[in-house]
Structure 1
Amino acid sequence: MPELPEVETTRRGIAPHCEGRTIQRVTVHNRSLRWPIPRELEEHLTGATIRSVERRAKYLLLKVDQGSAIVHLGMSGSLRVITDNTPLLPHDHVELELDSGIRLRYNDPRRFGCWLWSDTPEQHPLLASLGPEPLAPEFTGAMLFRLSRGKQTPVKSFIMDNHVVVGVGNIYANEALFKAGIHPKRKAGRISLDRYNRLVDAIRETLSAAILMGGTTLRDFVNSDGKPGYFAQSLLVYGRAALPCEECGMPLKEIRMNQRSTVYCGHCQR
C-alpha cells in the first residue's frame, strides 16, 4: 500500500504539471472504487483551474476555487502524467485532460482508492479528525509523551494511529522504532520523554529519506512518471527477518502485531 512518502512523491511529481492549469475534461471510466465516484466531481472540476496539489496524510487534494477533489491511492493506485498518445491501460478509472494537453490518469487494479468531492475538504469526515503531519513543527516528543500517558497500547500501534500522527505506516514504524532503539511492543505509556524525542527524530529522518528516494516499492507502487521508489534498498529491519542486525549482528526477529509484520532486533531495541 502506498504510504506517506509514496503519496508525497506522487504529489511532487504531478504538481508542476497540474498547478495553474485548467481542467478541460473529466472522464470517469469506472465509478466503482472504494466509494462510488460522485457525479458532482465532474461538475465541479470541468472548467476549473487547479490552484494547488496538496497532501493531507495519505490523501491528495486537487484544490480548485470551489473546493477540492480528495484522492486516495488505496492499496494499488497510481497517478500518471501522460504527455503522449499512450492508450488507456486496464484499470485506468479516471482521467483529467488539462489545457496544456497533458492528461492525468488514475489507475487502480484493486479499486480500494477513492475520488471524492468536498466544498470544504479540511472539514470532510475523512480528514477532520486526523492528527498532525509527522514532518510538521507541531509533531514533537512532548506531544507524544503527553498523549501516551496511561496508555497500555504497544508503541508501534500508538504511532500508527492516525489520530495521534498521520502517515507513519507499517514499514516506516518498523524502521523508526529500530533507529530509536525502542521495542515495538513496549507500552506507549511506559516510554520516557527523552525516548519519545528520539523517536520523533527517527520518524522524521526515516520519512524524509524515503521521500527523497521516491518511496518504497514492494509490490504495486509506481510514481507519477512510472519509475519505482528506491527506499526498499535502504530498509534496516522491515522484510529482513532472520537476517543479521545492521548494528549488532544478531538475527532480527519477526512477530505479528495487528496482523502486520513487525521486525525488530531483540538486542538493540528495548
Structure 2
Amino acid sequence: MASAAAAKRLEGKTILVTGASSGIGWSTVKEFARTSPKNLKIIATARRVDRLEQLAKEVREEVGDGVKVLPVALDVSNPEAVKNFVPALPEEFREIDVLVNNAGLVKGVAQAPNIAEEDMNIMFSTNVTGLINMTQAILPIFKKRDQGGRGDIINIGSIAGRDPYAGGSIYCATKAAVRAFTDALRKELIATRIRVIEIDPGQVETEFSIVRYYGDKAKADAVYAGVDPLIGDDIAEVIVFAATRPENVVIADTLVFPSHQAAAGVLHRRST
C-alpha cells in the first residue's frame, strides 16, 4: 500500500507515460493511479489507442474518478508527431510534472554484418531519437517553473546499456545512448529542481520478446523458460517510488534484476 506521504507528493500532478499500451508502461499508469487515487491526471501514450482506452477504463473501475487518464495515440519515432504533441493536448493536461520515457523496442537477434537496416532504424528512432525528442518537447514546461525549473524526467534504460551482449548489438547501443544522454542531461540541469532519473531493468517478461521475434510467441516464451523474470508491476513500483521521493532526493541510477540474473548474459535456469 502506498504511503500517505507518497500520495501527497503526487497530488494534483500530471504524469505522462509513453509506451503505455502494455508491459512496464501499462503497469506504471496503474501504479501511479493506485498511489494517488484522489487527484491525479495521467496522459497515457502509445500507438495502439484501443489498448490505452482499455487501460483508462480499468483505472477508472479500480480507483474511481479521482484519476483522469487521457489516452493519446503517439508514435515517438515520428518527430513531427512529437513536435505537435503538447500543443494538441487539452489545456488541463499541459502542465506536465513527470515524464516517464518508457517507449522502446528491440527487433531481431541478427549479428553484423546481417543486421537489417529497417530494424536498426526503428530501434534508434524509437529508443534514442524518440526519447530525446519527447524530453525536448516537455522540458520547456519544466524550465518555466520557479527556481530554474522543476519536474521529473524518468528514462527507462536497460541492463543492455551497461552490459552489451551478442545478438543485441543495436539494442544495446541504443540503451547505452540513453544512458549517456541521461547522465549529460542531469549535469546540464544541475542548477534547477528538475530531477533526471534512469531505471535499468534486467529481464522483464512483457511483449518485449514477442516484438524481438517478430510475433513468434513460441520463441518469446522460450526466453523465459526455467526462470522467474520480473514483470511490469515490479518496475512500475520502482518508477513511482522514484517519483514520490522528497524533492531534494534523486534516485539517479537504479539497476533492477530478477533473482536468477547477475548480468545481461548471466542467468541461472532451472533444469526441466
> TM-score category by the smaller chain?
under 0.3
Q: Which has the larger radius of gyration?
A: 1
Structure holding more helix per residue: 2
